[in-house]
Chain A
């Protein structure tokens, strides 16, 4: 069964550094999403992406964040200058029909 994959599974970075989190959505899916879960808190929406542009973003998704679909298979989340409070589990999701979102296993980002 096709699934969403994410790399790396765990990323440790120093405050102020740039990180890129990578996702390979399910191949025929057209809608892509990033969510995050800070330890002990709810899963929060960051951004959705469709037809090569951002369709919706949350207040969390400020100028430090960007998303890109650099080729036909990858979907990336970049954080330009990481802060301690960016430490979280980041989940990528994709959808074919736009109402069923399938999630990847997540990347745990630790900012020190």
Chain B
């Protein structure tokens, strides 16, 4: 079945860029997502990219997709302490389909 993997932990200094990586196994993945989870809160949809795109930028967020390597990344520019959270990568094969999540990357931003 599909599998989505992420590294567990990333620590950066405030003002630096953060890059969170994700790999997936299913070449049929059509939609790829990044969600953010703050302590005690639900999953906040940050951004998503369709598989026919290589890059998507949304303010401080840049998503890069390498379909050949099945690799997705989320770059957060000028990382702030408020960006400290768990970031989940997820994929789905078609619209309305279930999301398959990675295990989440805990981002810690040091002042």
Contacts and interface: CB of A to CB of B under 8 A. Distances in A.
Contacts of B101: 42-44
Contact of A31 (B33, B90, B96, B102): B96
Interface string A39-54: 0011111001010000
Given A103-B45, A105-B42, A33 B98 contact: yes
Given A42-B101, A43-B88, A43-B101, A103 B96 contact: no
Nearest to B5: A42
Chain A interface residue bracket vs B: 20 to 34
Interface of B: 31, 33, 35, 40-45, 48, 88, 90, 92, 95-104
Given A42-B101, A45-B98, A99 B42 contact: no
Contacts of A50: 96
B43 A97 contact: no
Contacts of A35: 99
A58 interface: yes
B92 A99 contact: yes
B68 to A, nearest CB: 23
A99 B103 contact: no
